[in-house]
Amino acid sequence: MTDTPILHIDMDAFFASVSIRHRPELRDVPVVVGAGGRGVVLSATYPARACGVRSGMPMRRALRLCPRAVVVSPDSLGVQSVSSAVMETFRSVTPLVRALSIDEAFLDVSGAARRFGSPEQIGEQLRARIADEQGITCSVGVAPITTVAKIASELAKPDGLLVVRPDEVLGFLHPLPIETLWGVGKKTAARLHRLELVTVADLAHTPVSTLQHALGPVAGAHLHRLAWGAGSHTVTPRASIQEPERTMGHQETFGRDTDDPILIRRELLRLSTRVAARMRRGGVVGRVVVITVRFSDFRTITRSRTLRETTDLAADIYAAAAELFSVLRPRARIRLVGVRVSGLVAAARAPRQLVLGARDPGWFEAERAVDQATLRFGSTVVRPAALIGSRRP
């Protein structure tokens, strides 16, 4: 046992680093990863950041700030396979790995001390291995609790490692600005600033009731605990069968705002088809269909419908999505539509209801055949008739 067993490991500028690995001549050039047109910056190398480019920024603005930047499309990079390889490297040290996103994970290394050394040594070994095997750098936070390890890795960036020992936790946390805490974004920070709270110490020494009044009972109590160094002392890997993802969805911004209902319905069908295929691949079914509509003024609404039975069929998902859209009667032009299914459960565990007049089982067969054909021949081979010959605007 060690007293600082939690590692948080975070790749440095992940997408941008992978693009440099592919094209070493870009090493000292500003590189911006993202889609063109109306996209935003996914990731930028440090030379690009020196020009003021930040992730989340509209691409157009980034290129205005840094006209000589090289733009790389994220699709071409194969980041998923790099991510999988990195996670495998983590698992070679401990089974207690929890991926938080494509490029970061928590590790509990308390059981790995005898084979690999102290948490700090393990962190350095993993950094060296990832640099060696993947050609990218990462940063590591080492702490007794998850929340603190996460902050430590952020402060260690780029290409660093930071250890926070148990007796250092409060001394480490309290001088930090409140925005550093996980879950404190723009709006929450603004509310706290109105109470003249600036540092984590300020937060810690404010009565819980005051925070709850400002932020709500759950968020207020949660932040107060975080300010006193609360967090998990261990890491539970996600067991995909018992704990499937809770929602799955896709959305897409049109190249140009539109009010053409045929175009919009066609897009809803395309998105429904993608979501359903992914659900079947993941072995999940769901009951709640949610559509998202974003208007040209960026106002965004959602509409949802709970189905009588769970499904993983595009036909069901699209039927609900189209029905939800048809009652909207939007007046403004539309910028984006999305389709999402929530209330997901593992298909094997879903209650099988025998309903009178139940759906023709032919649908199951048809959509599974599509899955098979797609697997063998690619996604353009089989698709709904309404999508044939269509190009997105």
> Which CB, 97 or 112, lies closer to DNA?
97
**CB of 109 vs DNA, minimal distance in Å:** 21
182 three-state secondary structure: coil
- The residues annotated with a catalytic role in the active site are 104
> Which CB, 183 or 207, lies closer to DNA?
183
d(CA 331, CA 49): 40
> Which CB, 20 or 192, lies closer to DNA?
192
**CB of 304 vs DNA, minimal distance in Å:** 4
Kindly give the pairing relationship between strand 70-72 and strand 31-33.
parallel
Q: 146, 94 in Cβ contact below 8 A?
A: no
**CB of 285 vs DNA, minimal distance in Å:** 15
Residues within window 326-355 making contact with DNA, judged by CB under 7 A: 335-336, 338, 340, 342
User: Which of residues 21, 305, 333, 383 is near DNA by CB under 7 A?
Assistant: 305
Does 155 bind DNA (CB under 7 A)? Our answer is: no
User: Which of residues 1, 80, 114, 186 is near DNA by CB under 7 A?
Assistant: 186
How many residues touch DNA (CB under 7 A)? 54
H-assigned helices in 14-145 = 14-22, 46-50, 59-65, 79-91, 113-116, 119-134
d(CA 4, CA 27): 35
d(CA 334, CA 16): 32
Structure tokens at 331: 């007046």
Does 374 bind DNA (CB under 7 A)? Our answer is: no
Structure tokens at 253: 């911004």
Phi-psi region of 216 (alpha: psi -120 to 50; beta: other; left: phi over 0): left
Q: Please give the torsion angle defined by the CA atoms of residues 343, 347, 348 and 354, in that order, rounded to the nearest 10 degrees.
A: 90
User: Which of residues 118, 121, 199, 251 is near DNA by CB under 7 A?
Assistant: 251
Which x/- pattern, by CB under 7 A, does the window 47-86 give for DNA? --------xx-x-xx--x----------------------
Does 183 bind DNA (CB under 7 A)? Our answer is: yes
Q: Report the b/e string of 60-88 with b at 16+ CB within 10 A.
A: eebbebbeebbbbebeebebeebbeebbe
Beta-bridge partners for 177: 199
**CB of 187 vs DNA, minimal distance in Å:** 3
> Which CB, 68 or 115, lies closer to DNA?
68
Does 95 bind DNA (CB under 7 A)? Our answer is: no
User: Which of residues 246, 256, 359, 368 is near DNA by CB under 7 A?
Assistant: 246
Does 382 bind DNA (CB under 7 A)? Our answer is: no
Cis peptide bond prior to 158, omega within 30° of 0: yes
> Which CB, 54 or 115, lies closer to DNA?
54
Residues that bind DNA (CB under 7 A): 35, 38-40, 42, 55-56, 58, 60-61, 64, 100-104, 150, 182-189, 216-219, 245-253, 278, 288, 297-298, 300-306, 335-336, 338, 340, 342
